[in-house]
Amino acid sequence: MNPHNKSIEELKDIAAQVRRDIVRMVHAVNSGHPGGSLGCTDYFVSLYFKVMDYSTDFSMDGKGEDLFFLSNGHISPVWYSTLARAGFFDVSELATFRKIDSRLQGHPATEEGLEGIRVASGSLGQGLSVALGAAQTKKLNNDDKLVYVLMGDGEVEEGQVWEAAMYAAHHKIDNVIATIDRNGQQIDGSTNEVMSLGDLKAKFEAFGWHVLEANGNSFETLLPALEEAKRSTGHGKPVMIMMDTEMGYGVDFMMGSHKWHGVAPNDEQLQIALQQLAVKVASDY
């Protein structure tokens, strides 16, 4: 059971608040990655406020809970905000993001003991392997909960992703739901310009995965896709969601461009962004 289990209207309000947190966090330290964070906000809010079964009383082993791993660790702002808003730690701690002595490192880490994080990520291509290992331990422990993992689309240029993809199908790891954030952007430009990814759905299907597609910026389509993904587990195949998102979603001048991958807004841009991210009752940290 999800500890929040919000309605779609409530999820939209939470998502707007998380997006406000994201732009304020990266603005405050003039660094960080707002583009992918904004694009994946609806996914994170769906998992933590509707889909996943977990406890905010964090334990590293997470026995009897759904687990989430973030492989593309640079979108840490959306994860930190979601974890805080879900109750893992106080939202006031978001103000320490990327600052000295903070638990909110530039990329997620376990070293400082931040609740909700089970492995460091940032160097790309490693999270799927970790998630598969955790999923196999769940099977050994007769734990029927699921393991979720998010990757970037540019990230699948790393060879380790394909080692893991092959392994998952061979070992029939059917208690994992992987998601690729298909926003078509990476640091140096669009994925088409930098490194053609081709038909990722067909590629993962050829590797033996059950692949779904969803619009990641619409709760009306994303939630049913996540439910379908859940129903697809336990059938001998790993499950993948190809999630189409728009980088920078929710802030018009950040949308549809790789330029806001790792750039923070200035004072004026922040105010414009916050005007666009209206919530019924803003509770900024």
Partner 1 sequence: MKEYTYSEKKDTRSGFGAGLHELGKNNPEVVALCADLTGSLKMDAFKKDFPERFFQVGIAEANMMGLAAGMTIGGKIPFTGTFANFSTGRVYDQIRQSIAYSGKNVKICASHAGLTLGEDGATHQILEDIGMMKMLPHMTVINPCDFNQTKAATMAIAEYEGPVYLRFGRPSVPNFTPANQKFEIGKAVMLNEGTDVTIIATGHLVWKAILAGKMLEEKGISAEIINIHTIKPLDNEAVLASVRKTKCVVTAEEHNRFGGLGDSVAQVLATNFPAPQEYVATNDTFGESGTPEELMEKYGLTEGNIVAAAERAISRKQ
* Contacts with partner 1, residue ranges (CB under 8 A): 60-63, 67, 69, 109-111, 118-123, 125-138, 140-141, 143, 159-160, 163-164, 166-167, 170-171
CB of 187 to partner 1, least distance (A): 18
CB neighbourhood size of 231 (10 A): 10
CB of 159 to partner 1, least distance (A): 7
CB of 173 to partner 1, least distance (A): 10
What span, in angstroms and rounded, lies between the C-alpha atoms of 50 and 116?
Answer: 16
Smallest CA-to-CA distance from 124 within 157, 165, 148 is with 157
**Between residues 61 and 193, which has the closer beta carbon with respect to partner 1?**
61
**Between residues 57 and 193, which has the closer beta carbon with respect to partner 1?**
57
CB of 130 to partner 1, least distance (A): 4
Three-class secondary structure of residue 176 per DSSP = strand
**Between residues 23 and 131, which has the closer beta carbon with respect to partner 1?**
131
Rounded to 5°, angle at Cα 237 from 128 and 167: 45
**Between residues 18 and 165, which has the closer beta carbon with respect to partner 1?**
165
**Between residues 158 and 181, which has the closer beta carbon with respect to partner 1?**
158
CB of 149 to partner 1, least distance (A): 10
Smallest CA-to-CA distance from 54 within 103, 111, 116 is with 116
CB neighbourhood size of 120 (10 A): 16
* Token code pair at residue 83: 């974890």
